């Protein structure tokens, strides 16, 4: 089945506005901080979707196993706080994507 990824929304001011991470919803259904409403995406899907400025991260990077993620009760709201480690990951991801674009366009 392969590793699955969450997509952190960096657009629309979500990254700067909240202390919790905001992720893409299931089947691209919006943006949510509650893990019971967010979607898991393949690496190929995540790469395509993050081309517009968002960031993908594996669920183990936020300290959750796939089994735990799949067993989350929708009646219990679970949010992920921004940590220094996650902020560093996101900043590195953004720099890599910008450099990739610069190389692509020959700047």
List pLDDT tens digits, range 67-83. 888 899 999 999 999 99
- 3 state DSSP class of 22: coil
Span 19-42, average pLDDT: 93
Region 50-60 average pLDDT:
86
31 is in which domain, residue-wise?
5-105
CA distances from 34 to 96, 97, 107 (A): 28, 26, 39
Residues 81-105, mean pLDDT to the nearest whole number: 85
Per-residue pLDDT band for 106 (boundaries 50, 70, 90) equals low
Q: What global pTM score does this model have?
A: 0.85
pLDDT confidence of residue 107: 54
User: What is the tally of structural domains in the chain?
Assistant: 1
């Amino acid at each position: 089945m392969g590793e699955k990824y969450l997509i952190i929304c960096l657009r629309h001011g979500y990254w700067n506005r909240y202390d919790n991470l905001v992720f893409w919803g299931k089947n691209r259904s919006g943006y949510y901080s509650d893990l019971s409403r967010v979607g898991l995406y393949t690496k190929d899907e995540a790469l395509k979707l993050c081309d517009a400025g968002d960031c993908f991260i594996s669920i183990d990077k936020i300290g959750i196993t796939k089994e735990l993620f799949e067993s989350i009760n929708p009646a219990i709201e679970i949010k992920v706080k921004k940590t220094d480690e996650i902020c560093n990951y996101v900043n590195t991801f953004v720099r890599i994507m910008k450099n990739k674009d610069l190389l692509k366009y020959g700047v």
